Every structure is written in C-alpha cells, then in structure tokens.
Structure 1
Amino acid sequence: TTITAKAGDKTATCSITVIPTPVGSITLTLLSASLTVGESVTLSATVGPVDAIDKTVSWSSSDATVANVSNGVVSAKKIGTATIKAKAGNKTATCSIMVVSAPVGSITLNLQSASLKVGETVTLAATVNPSDATDKTVTWTTSDATVATVSNGVVTAKKMGTVTITAKAGDETANCMVEVLSDALEGWEEGEPIEGGI
C-alpha cells in the first residue's frame, strides 16, 4: 500500500507493507489419552496469537491403524500406541494415544443350577459384558469330571454326585451347580420285571 502526501505541487509517498502475523504457538487440550478399541476422544487446538493470519489446523496420526484422527476426533482402532499431531503454520503440538484392551466386566449363565440323570446333557450359555470387551473367550471347567464333564458349555452327567461348572472370561467367572441323579432303570434290561411295577 502506498501513502501519498501532497502540498501545492509537491508530493511525497510512503510505501507500507503489511506483514501477516505468523502462528506463534499451538496447544492441545490433552497431552495424552488412554482409549479402548472402539472409543473416541475429541482434541481441541488453540492457536496463538489471536491475530494470527492463518489459524488453520491440520491433523495427522503416526499410525492410523491404531488410532486415526479427523478434525480432532481420535478413534481407537486396535491395541497399540500412536501420536496425534496438530499443525498450524510451522508450529506443532502432539498427543500420545494408548489403545488398550477393553476388559470383561461380567459373565452370566442362563442356568445357575440343574439336575440331570446319568447320561443326560444340558447346554449352558454364557453372556459376556460389556459387548465391546476385547476378548470374550469363555473357558469351561468342572469341579469333578467323574461326575459331570463340560465341553463348550455342554454338560454331560457321568455318575451320581454334585459338581460346579465354571465359566470364565477374562478375570470374571460364573458358576452352575449340577446335581447328577441315579437313573432309576440303570442296569435294567428289557424284558426284566420292574420291582414294584404293575
């Protein structure tokens, strides 16, 4: 811009150059965050000074397979670590993101107790919460495999007695008490009279 001053037939000029105010700093609301897979967090960037000519912020992730970022919204994708970078002008700020496994909060069974005769089976179903737990694998055990066995939730009665069937996911467990009763016809062969029968 040129400024001109005139007096009579005399003039004087001054050339003015307006220099844009550069970005002096950028800060984030968080320096670090811990997320479970599927969770998200929003980062806000503050660019200074207030009269900086271009306060546009660009976002990037050091590993988008672990955590990606869009307009400051960070989404956890898989277990690991990633650094989220915000840049304005030639200034940058970072936030360290740790993506951890979502622990199992509880496990429940469809039955808390059951009565079976020798040779019978019952199927137990386990529900693991929360639904987004990283590892919802259920392991099954019996307190006495000679009385009743369990495989993938299917309990098979072997002989008279009482056992506890345990389902475990993560650090959480659920139990079902199973009573195995004798088979009234155990050892009976077809054609033989039943004592007390009519």
Structure 2
Amino acid sequence: MKTVEDIVSKRFRQHLQKSITLNDADFEEIIKRFTLREISKKEYLIRPLQVCRYESYIAKGLFQTAITDDSGRLHTLYFPHEDWWVGDFKSFKKEEGSSMEIQALEDSVLLQISKPDLENLYRDLPVFERFFRILNENAGIALQDRIVQNFSVNAEKKYLEFQKKYPEIQHRLSAKRIASFLGVTPEYFSQLLNKK
C-alpha cells in the first residue's frame, strides 16, 4: 500500500519533470531536502508580519493569498492549489515580515524547503536551480498578466478569464472569495452572476 509520502513524492517528481529532466539520483537528492507538512482547513500558513521560512509545493489542497488594505478590506491575490508553489517570496528571500496572509481553504499537503536547504540544493544540483529560474520566470509573467488585467479589463471579463484559466478550482471557492479576487464587492459579483 502506498503511503502519503510515496504519493506526494510521485506527484512532485512529475511536477519537476514538466520543466527539467531528472534521473533517480537527482530526484533523491532533491526530495531529501523537503519535509512533508499537512495543514488543516482555515489554518494560516503565513500571517502579516511573520517571516516566511519555507517555499512550499502544494501536493494537495487550496489556499488564499491575500492582503488587507488600510480600511480593513481583504484583497485576494491568488488561489494557489495543486502543483503550485505557495509562500511570500520577498519575505522568504529577504527574511523580513510578510505583508500577506496565506490561509488554507481545504485540508492540504505540502512539501516544504527552508532557505538554507534551497541554497544548498542550488549549489549541489544546478538542474534544480534551473527549475526555480523557470518557475520564477513563469510567476513573473503571471503577475504581469494579473496587473495588466486589473487595470484594463472590467469585472465581467475578469470573471470569464478566471473561469477559463482556473476551471479546476472555481467550484471549490465561495462567491465572496471570487469577488475578492476580481476586486469587486460580493453584492456586485452576485449581480454579475444574475445578469449571466
């Protein structure tokens, strides 16, 4: 019978091999630097001002990455889910307090790596450094697309794009959370749904 570790390890290897080629020895060197963490629904991975100590690969689950503005309104940045990485990269790299909160919306399973282990892995296995470069390039492109969309597209078009881009998670989210991602009130989002 396969353990959670075996299932997560297999999924993680498939994830890595979408971007890089790995032999068994390379993968064993990578996986031994990660720790498995199970996190319960509603538990926070990071709270504002907390330093992000790990980069986390999501093997199972769904999170909400958000910030709260000066008026107390929550703004959702992302919904990291299976095969995504979750964390506050700036806080992780600079070892400073986060401006974000990251909360599990479902019971989740992560593979986590600390900054020292990640730096050692870059040094010991350059192919993994290449993987992270590709990962960060793709994250930069996604961030640019999100910023451009926020300034150039109305809420209805944003929602259509959200449905097209994230069909696997939209049914796992409340209307209130989707409204926060779109940057509209829950009431406006409800009107938008009724109009459709």
Q: Fold-level match, TM-score > 0.5?
A: no
* Larger RCO, structure (CA 8 Å, separation 6 or more): 2
Q: Shorter-chain TM-score: which interval?
A: under 0.3
TM-score scaled to structure 2, two decimals?
Answer: 0.20
Which has the higher Rg, Structure 1 or Structure 2? 1
TM-score (norm 1): 0.20
